[in-house]
Amino acid sequence: MNHKLVNRIQVTRRSLLHAAGTLLASSALSANLAQGARATLRTSVNPLSPDGLNGAVLYGQFTIPRGVRSRLVDNNNGLVMHILEAGFEGPRRPCVLLLHGFPELAYSWRHQLLPLASAGFHVIAPDLRGYGLTARRPVSFSDSLVPYMVINRVTDILGLVRAIGHRRVACVVGHDWGGPTAEWCARVRPDVFQSVVSVSTPFGGAPTLPLGSADRSTPAAPHPGIEDALAALPRPRKQYTWYYAGADANEDLWHPPQGVHDLLRAMWYFKSADWKQNKPFPLKSWTATELAKLPEYYVMNLHMGMAQTVAEHMPSGEYAASCRWLTEADLDVYTQQYTRTGFQGGLNSYRILIDPEFAGGVKSFSGRAVTVPACFIGGAEDWGVRQAPGAFEDMGKACTQMLSVDLVPEAGHWVAEEQPARVNRLLLHFLNA
C-alpha cells in the first residue's frame, strides 16, 4: 500500500476519534449537568464506537476498559465532579480514592481502577477542582484562589465520598499534587481517611509555628531569596514553582507554538525513565548551586517558559508511535481536556504554595503528624522524589506509621503509568497489610 495513503488514513482516523471523543464528552457533560448530575450514566456501548468499546465513560471511550464508568457527582462544596469508578456493583465495598497530579486527570489512574476493584474495593478517581470535566469552563488567573486552599481541597474530597455514600475511605492515594492533598485528608480527618499513600511526592510536615519566639531579643534573620540566588548564577536559572505561579504560565502552556499535544508528549517523556539522563541523587541543601543540578523541568533557564524548555527535549515520532505506557490515543485524552480548559486550575496549586496569605488555615495543624498507616511509592528515576533536599529522608517525621517506602525500577515521575503492574502490586500489598 502507498505509505503516503497509510499516513493519511492514520491521521484521518485519529482526527475522527478526537472529534468523536470531544463531541461525546461535551454533549454528555451538558446533559448531566442540566439534570443535576446525580444520575448514574447508562452503560450502553458508545453508539459511535465499534461494539465492545466503553460507552460508559465521558472520555477515553477507546482506551478505558469496560467495567469502568463515569459519573458526575455534586460534592456539596460547590463542584459537580467527574469521576471514573470501578467496583461499584453489588453490596457496598471499602473505598479506595485515587487523586491525580499536574498536568493529569482521573484518566492517569486507568491502569489501577480494575485491578483494585478486582481485589474487592470500590475505586474512585475524580477530576479534581479546576481539571478535566470537573471544570465546566476554563479557570482564569483572576478567579479567586480561596477554593484552591488546602483545607477546601480536603472538603472537596470529603464531600465527594460522602455524596457517593461512604462514611470512611480505606485508603486515599495521591500522585504528584494529589499526594499533598491525600496527606492533608489523612491529617485533618483520620477518622474518615484510614490510610494514605503518596506517589512521587514525599510526605511533608505541617507548617511550623515557632516555639519560644517571644523570648528572642532580636527577630530571626530572613532567609535570602532562592529566586535571586538562582538568577545570579553564571547560567541564570529559576525554580519552576515560581514560574507556574506567574500570570504568564497558563498562556504559555495552553497556546504553545508546538501545540498542546506535543507539549504534553514532551513533558511526559522528559520526566519519565525513558529520558535516560534522569538519574536522581540526594541534594545537599536548598541552595542555588545545589538546585541547579536539577533538570530544566524543575530549575528552568531564566528567560525560557516551559513550552520552550520541553520543546528542546521533544522525542522522535518513532518514539511516540511505539510508546506503550502513553500511547497516542492516551495522549489525545489529555490533549482534548487541556485544550478545552487550559491549565490554570492546576497551576493555582502552585500559587497557593508560595503565597503566605493562603497558609493560615494549615498553620493550625502545626506539629500534627499523619497518624494513620502510610506508604510511599516513587519512581527510581524520578527527580520529583529528590527535588526538595531532605524531604525523602525526613518522611518519618511527618508520619508516625510509615509502613513502607518503595522506589520502582525503570520508572520516572509517571510511575503509575510507566510501571502499572508493579505499582498495583505495591498498592495491594499495602491495602492487605
The answer to the question of residue 308 being in a domain is yes
How far does Cα 292 stand from its chain's mean position? 25
Cell 448514574 belongs to residue:
40
What is the DSSP secondary-structure string of 278-289? Answer: --------SSHH
Does residue 410 belong to any structural domain of this protein? Answer: yes
Task: Please report whether residue 354 resides in a domain.
Answer: yes
Contacts of 89 (CB under 8 A, 6+ apart): none
| Residue 13 domain flag | no
* CATH number for 53: 3.40.50.1820
Is residue 119 one of the residues assigned to a domain? yes
Residue 276, domain extent: 23-207+225-431
Length of the chain: 433
Residue corresponding to grid cell 478535566: 132
Classify residue 216: in a domain, yes or no: no
The number of domains in the chain is 1
* pLDDT tens across the length of the chain (433 residues): 443 333 333 333 444 444 444 444 444 444 444 343 333 333 333 333 445 699 999 999 999 999 999 999 999 999 999 999 999 987 789 999 999 999 999 999 999 999 999 999 999 999 999 999 999 999 999 999 999 999 999 999 999 999 999 999 999 999 999 999 999 999 999 999 999 999 999 999 988 888 888 887 666 555 568 999 999 999 999 999 999 999 999 999 999 999 999 999 999 999 999 999 999 999 999 999 999 999 999 999 999 999 999 999 999 999 999 999 999 999 999 999 999 999 999 999 999 998 888 877 888 999 999 999 999 999 999 999 999 999 999 999 999 999 999 999 999 999 999 999 999 999 999 999 8
Q: How far is CA 210 from CA 159, 187, 332, 366, in A?
A: 33, 20, 48, 9
In a domain, 360, yes or no: yes
- The Cα 104–Cα 60 span in angstroms is 14
CB atoms within 10 A of CB 398: 20
